[in-house]
Structure 1
Amino acid sequence: MNSPVYIQIHNEIKKAIEAGKWKVGERIPAERELSTEFSVSRMTLRQAISTLVDEGILERKVGSGTYVASQKVQEKVSGVTSFTELTEAQGKKPSSRTISYHTSEPSLSEIEKLQLNDGDLVLRMERIRFADAVPICYETATIPEKLVSDFSKSEVTKSLYKTLEEKAGLMIGRAEQTVSAMLASEKVSEYLDIKRGDAILRLHQLSYAQDGTPFEYVRTQYVGERFEFYLNR
């Protein structure tokens, strides 16, 4: 199975950044120039760039362009953020709508995060999550395909953790999370019913089984004015 073209472009740009072609803080070429360089459509190029922005490798500056992101200062906090639990704790009804759900070759970032081997495939799904029918966040989750190949789409999208624990015998362990601020892209603003450039909170979460094996890599973008994190230290 071949990777989607945008994932291939994602990998090429990531390799170029790691090789020093563009330095931290440096503006990368315009989409028109890059789409010509890679011989792809502007739409495909934009999807690759958006994926790199979601991962925190690139960052967009309104009216200026797209830049290689600088390393953020990190602080460790305790607890695993669960959208469903947080929503229910506020007396609201959580729900979700699946935008895409497909098996693919992993990107370089996904290989690194999930410690995948050559030939491994991943399930990549995009969802919008709601609280009382109000869109709260846009989420992209990547899971090793071998973990979920025996389960239905409904079992995976409705309650992945419950399915893995009860039907695959996987014991859920810790999670690593980072939270940062960014501006909503046109795509995400449409999904979340906000304006392009509105403030959003970006959460990256890497979840591990109790034996230390990473099993889920999630990139989530929350509407800043509709959601807040409560961290108990």
Structure 2
Amino acid sequence: MEDHTGIRRTRNATSELVYRIRARIREQELLPGEKLGSERALADSLGVSRSDLRNALTVLESDHEIIRKIGRAGGIVISDGRLERNINTVESLPTIARRQGMRVSSKVLQAVIAPASVSDVRLLRLPGEHPMIYDITRLRYIENRPLSLERSHLPAYLFPLFLTRDLTTPFYTMFERDYGVYPCNVDETLESVVGDEQENELLQIEAGTPLMRIHRIAYASDGCPFERATDVYIADRMRFTMHHSGYVRLSATSTQNMTK
């Protein structure tokens, strides 16, 4: 009986602490990506032990309300369960997820070598009379839930024997490590769409569910295009951001011309 009583008290204390932390998040109007603080500072401010705090944080993390990050830039970060991806990034999806305390995995649906299409030849600047590409389709998961479909066209001449490798691992890591191709720049377009029957089935979503489709051309450090890809994300599981480092200041003359 004493053991059951102790467990019940612990659960009640954890529930109360979860309530207090949620109340603090609401009061401070913290947004996804903002920090609630470090474990030590939060425990001190709430007047609880770090072990009790960790019990409450485990509940919040399992509900995708916070993420605990370690390291110098770590702490308790507000989350809404979405994966945040910067537009025009050259980082792989697993790398982005790992930094946010999440895990992305992949399942290969198709991996074939095929003749390049007219648009492949143009956009990937493929040499030769009859160039070939790798056509690879992967289903990506975030914390074991479907996240996106990714279809990549890769120049076969750049990546010999690529289909013999583990295609569930990040492509960009293999490009750098095994082929000396270093991703540098990307051109991307993003549009809101709804999926077709096959996409909905693979992503395990209802017809009409909003999706975000990204068309991407990636370039190596020498300016050579090495990937043409289309990614289709479930919209409510992603957040897309854009960060600008500066702005162009218009002259007074330019401003006047724009208002005419």
TM-score when normalising by structure 2 = 0.57
1:137 aligned onto 2:145: no
Does 2:107 match 1:97?
A: yes
- 2:241 aligned counterpart, secondary structure: coil
SS of alignment partner, residue 195 of structure 1: coil
Q: Is contact 1:182–1:200 with CA below 8 Å preserved after alignment?
A: yes
Matched, 1:200 2:218: no
Measure, in 2, the Cα distance between the counterparts of 1:168 and 1:81: 17
SS in structure 2 opposite 1:158? coil
In structure 2, the partner of 1:164 is: 175
What secondary structure is seen at the aligned counterpart in 2 of 1:178? Answer: strand
> Which residue of the other structure, out of 177, 194, 198, is the alignment partner of 1:187?
198
Alignment: residue pair count? 157
Identity %: 25
CA distance in structure 1 between the partners assigned to 2:92 and 2:236 by the alignment:
18
Is contact 1:138-1:192 (8 Å) kept? yes
Partner of 2:137: 126
Cα-Cα RMSD: 1.7
SS at match of 2:240: coil
Contact residue 88 and residue 188 of structure 2 kept, 8 A: no
Q: Name the structure 2 match of 1:154.
A: 165
Aligned counterpart in structure 2 of residue 84 of structure 1, from 76, 94, 102:
94
What code does the residue aligned with 1:107 have? S
How far off is 1:81 after superposition?
5.5
Q: Please tell me the residue identity of whatever aligns with 1:212.
A: G
Residues 1:144 and 1:94: Cα distance change in structure 2 (over 3 Å): same
Q: Which residue of 2 aligns with 1:30?
A: none
Corresponding residue of 1:14:
none
- Distance (whole Å) between structure 2 residues aligned to residue 100 and residue 109 of structure 1: 20
Residue deviations 1:44-89, cap 9 Å, x none? xxxxxxxxxxxxxxxxxxxxxxxxxxxxxxxxx6543632222222
Query: Structure 1 residues 153, 232: CA separation in 2 closer, same or farther (over 3 Å shift)?
Result: farther
Structure 1: state its 5+ residue gaps.
Answer: 1-76
Shift of 1:92: 1.3
Q: State which structure, 1 or 2, has the greater radius of gyration over its C-alpha atoms.
A: 2
Question: Could you tell me how far apart the structure 2 residues matched to 1:208 and 1:135 are?
Answer: 28
CA distance in 2, matches of 1:79, 1:159: 14
Give 2:243's aligned residue. 232
TM-score normalised to structure 1 length: 0.63
CA distance change for structure 1 residues 127 and 86 in 2, over 3 Å: closer, same or farther? same
Please tell me whether residue 113 in structure 1 is matched to residue 123 in structure 2: yes
Take 1:81 and 1:161, find their aligned partners in 2: how far apart are those partners? 8
Structure 1 residue 152, shift from structure 2 partner: 4.9
